[in-house]
């Protein structure tokens, strides 16, 4: 069993930095102790899991799961113990802060590379190159052809809506034509006509009516006046008799 992959990668990155002979010796010593601690802790965890499963008389499949879990816990414990021991070794160095800074830089570089490796950036090989560009162009072309052929979804949804609105307005007009006129409708019509007649009277008084309207009114007024005049003696007698004036046979007024 070897040291944890993350810790091993950090050690390899630290070697790339310029180190003093004492720092190199400390790094080798930390690496050897880490390998030893992780290996021993993993073996102890696996053995403890198997012994505990046999004592509890577990079946073979649960025994394997429990032993594997105990071995993983042992490896984690060995890694933590190795880190604590490495810290103590680094503190013994004359320039311990520099070595700690190198360790942090190596760890940050590893984490950043892993993050970029698992995140699908546009610069990734799987999503770049001429093939990816051609695929994107073909997808855009298919979408544009689909939009030209079938139209946008908004247009498709708007057509039934407009048809339904036209049907509703037609149905309302038919109902309005067949609906009998109520007293309220007649009252509203009278109230609507009354302001118009009042406005016409006011315009007539002010002399602001159109010429055609004035000529029509004058013509109708003159016609009615001419028709009211008696045209013969008999008509004159009828008008005079209707007025209530009594005369004798000679035409004198009887009081």
Last residue of a domain, one of 119, 146, 161: 119
Which structural domain, as residue segments, surrounds residue 239? 218-255
Q: Is 252 among the domain residues?
A: yes
Question: What percent of the chain has pLDDT above 70?
Answer: 49
The structure tokens listed for 167 are 């049907």
CA-based angle 7:8:10, to the nearest 5?
65
The structure tokens listed for 65 are 């799961």
CA-based angle 176:179:182, to the nearest 5?
110
What's the domain count of the chain? 2
Burial letters 178-206, b for 16+ CB under 10 A, else e: eeeeeeeeeeeeeeeeeeeeeeeeeeeee
More confident call, 6 vs 119 = 6
Q: What is the DSSP letter of 229?
A: S
Last residue of a domain, one of 62, 84, 119: 119
pLDDT in tens, 6-23: 667 777 777 787 778 888
Please say if the pLDDT value at position 159 is more than 60: no
Distances (CA, A) of 254 to 46, 154, 188, 248, 249: 152, 95, 55, 7, 10
Q: What does the pLDDT read at residue 72? A: 92
Q: Which has the minimum average pLDDT: 9-13, 14-18, 171-175, 214-218? A: 214-218
More confident call, 33 vs 223 = 33
Q: Is 141 among the domain residues?
A: no
Q: Is 130 among the domain residues?
A: no
- Classified as helix, coil or strand, 247 is strand
Q: What does the pLDDT read at residue 114? A: 75
pLDDT in tens, 48-66: 999 988 888 888 898 899 8
Q: What does the pLDDT read at residue 145? A: 53
| CA terminus-to-terminus distance, the chain | 154
Q: Is 29 among the domain residues?
A: yes
The structure tokens listed for 163 are 């048809």
Q: What does the pLDDT read at residue 155? A: 47
Q: What does the pLDDT read at residue 191? A: 72
In the predicted model, what is the mean pLDDT of residues 167-185? 69
Q: Is 17 among the domain residues?
A: yes
Please say if the pLDDT value at position 119 is more than 80: no
Chain centre distance of CA 48: 57
Query: What count of other Cβ atoms lies within 10 Å of the Cβ of residue 235?
Result: 11
Is 241 in contact with 248 (CB distance < 8 Å)?
no
Q: What is the DSSP letter of 166?
A: H
Q: What does the pLDDT read at residue 220? A: 52
Rounded to whole angstroms, the Cα distance separating 30 from 11 reads: 9
Whose structure tokens read 């544009």?
144
Q: Is 244 among the domain residues?
A: yes
Residue 1's pLDDT band (cuts 50, 70, 90): very low
Please say if the pLDDT value at position 41 is more than 60: yes
Is 49 in contact with 69 (CB distance < 8 Å)?
yes
Find residue 253's DSSP bridge partners: 247
Last residue of a domain, one of 99, 119, 139: 119
In the predicted model, what is the mean pLDDT of residues 215-239? 56
pLDDT in tens, 137-157: 555 555 555 544 444 445 444
Q: Which has the minimum average pLDDT: 39-43, 57-61, 82-86, 120-124? A: 120-124
Q: Is 210 left (phi over 0), alpha (psi -120 to 50) or beta?
A: beta
Q: Is 71 among the domain residues?
A: yes
Query: What count of other Cβ atoms lies within 10 Å of the Cβ of residue 140?
Result: 10
Rounded to whole angstroms, the Cα distance separating 250 from 116 reads: 135
Please say if the pLDDT value at position 167 is more than 70: no
Q: Is 112 among the domain residues?
A: yes
Q: Which has the minimum average pLDDT: 23-27, 78-82, 199-203? A: 199-203
Residue 73's pLDDT band (cuts 50, 70, 90): very high
Rg of the chain in Å (alpha carbons): 56
């Amino acid at each position: 069993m070897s040291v944890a992959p993350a810790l091993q990668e950090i050690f390899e990155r630290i070697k790339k930095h310029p180190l003093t002979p004492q720092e190199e010796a400390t790094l080798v010593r930390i690496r050897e102790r880490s390998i030893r601690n992780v290996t021993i802790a993993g073996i102890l965890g696996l053995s403890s899991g198997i012994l505990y499963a046999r004592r509890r008389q577990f079946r073979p499949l649960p025994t394997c799961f429990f032993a594997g879990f105990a071995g993983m816990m042992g490896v984690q414990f060995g890694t933590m113990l190795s880190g604590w021991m490495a810290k103590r070794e680094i503190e013994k160095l004359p320039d311990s802060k520099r070595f700690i800074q190198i360790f942090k830089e190596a760890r940050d570089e590893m984490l950043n590379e892993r993050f970029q490796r698992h995140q699908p950036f546009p610069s990734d090989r799987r999503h770049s190159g001429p093939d990816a560009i051609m695929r994107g162009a073909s997808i855009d072309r298919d979408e544009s052809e689909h939009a030209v052929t079938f139209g946008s979804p908004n247009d498709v949804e708007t057509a039934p809506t407009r048809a339904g609105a036209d049907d509703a307005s037609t149905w309302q007009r038919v109902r309005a034509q067949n609906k009998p006129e109520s007293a309220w409708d007649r009252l509203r019509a009278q109230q609507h006509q009354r302001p118009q007649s009042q406005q016409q009277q006011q315009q007539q008084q002010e002399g602001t009516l159109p010429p055609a309207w004035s000529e029509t009114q004058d013509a109708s007024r003159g016609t009615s006046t001419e028709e009211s005049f008696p045209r013969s003696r008999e008509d004159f007698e009828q008008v005079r008799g209707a007025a209530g004036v009594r005369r004798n046979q000679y035409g004198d007024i009887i009081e």
